[in-house]
Amino acid sequence: MKFIIRKILNKDKDKDNYALLKKSEVDWDAYALTLPDKVKDPVLFFMHNYLDYPLKIVGVFHSSYYLKNNPDVLSNGTNPLVHFLIYGQYEGRSAWQEDDEIILKKTENKKIVDNNDFKSRLEALLLKEKILQNGLSSAEQEKWINELIDVSESGIVKIQDFFDQEHYEAMYPDVADPSINSFFHYIFHGHEEGRLGFLDIDSLIIKGGQEKDKHLSSVLLVSHEASATGAPVVALEVSKRLSKYFNIVTCTLRGGSYIQTLSKLG
């Protein structure tokens, strides 16, 4: 049953990807000239044969170059142009070289897809998280979102209780590359992946049960969780012993029944 459902979902996904590629500004007739004569549908052929028959779009995109410079796309098996259209161009990923051949009809300074998709996704997320006030006029919303896009190029977007671009890049080095717009990455990719857009430090800190002794050095004890199993039990025992000689600061990546016990020692 799971196999059948997965097959149906993959079929629907292929249909969506085909439609996306078909309506792009790629000159598929030009691409077809690089393919075997028996190929009747260059779009469908590219969807499944991009490794052997790369697509080159001057000044914009080269499928082989894109996969080489974005190994995460190669490893997850996503069609490179599909990924670029939905995510890559907004994230600022490098996708082409100067010597690429021309197979795209494009006007000067025109992207394959404009920022409208990004703006609509951002607005939807802000409304969902109750960050965007419904009282703002459409003109005010448009102005604010345009300002966020401009500021994101400098890597300093800050939206209270939603996103901090500097912290996001510090937490996730894979999107800290200057060629990637991490704000676009979060809206298109990161939020859906469960990545944290910001950290509410105050809500994560629990006051310890001991006063700091200025005559003692401090030790940071880190445990992956605070459940009553394995490593956390060892961490608790280590904390008890070290507390006689050091100020203890405990950090756990997840909660558990030992949270309060650990906090009392620090």
Structural domain count of the chain: 3
Kindly state whether residues 186 and 211 are assigned to the same domain: no
Domain termination residue (choose one: 193, 222, 248): 193
Kindly state whether residues 218 and 242 are assigned to the same domain: yes
d(CA 186, CA 168): 9
- Does 56 fall in a domain? yes
> Tokens standing for 140?
């005010």
39 alpha carbon, distance to own chain's centre: 36
Provide the residue type at 151 as one letter: V
Burial class (CB in 10 A: 0-12, 13-18, 19+), 5: exposed
Kindly state whether residues 173 and 145 are assigned to the same domain: yes
77 alpha carbon, distance to own chain's centre: 17
pTM as predicted: 0.45
C-alpha distances in angstroms, 126 versus 159, 175, 183, 195, 207? Answer: 10, 21, 13, 16, 32
User: CA torsion sign, 68 to 170 to 113 to 45?
Assistant: positive
**Domain ranges, residue 26:** 2-91
pLDDT in tens, the chain (266 residues): 333 334 433 556 788 889 999 988 888 988 888 888 888 999 999 999 999 888 888 778 889 889 988 888 988 889 999 999 999 888 888 887 654 333 333 333 334 345 777 888 888 888 888 887 666 778 888 888 888 888 888 888 999 889 999 999 988 888 888 778 899 999 988 888 888 898 876 666 777 778 888 888 888 878 777 766 777 777 777 878 888 888 888 777 666 777 777 777 66
- Does 31 fall in a domain? yes
- Does 102 fall in a domain? no
Domain termination residue (choose one: 171, 193, 215): 193
Kindly state whether residues 8 and 73 are assigned to the same domain: yes
- Residue 134 confidence (pLDDT): 60
Domain termination residue (choose one: 159, 193, 227): 193
Kindly state whether residues 187 and 220 are assigned to the same domain: no
- Does 199 fall in a domain? no
- Does 198 fall in a domain? no
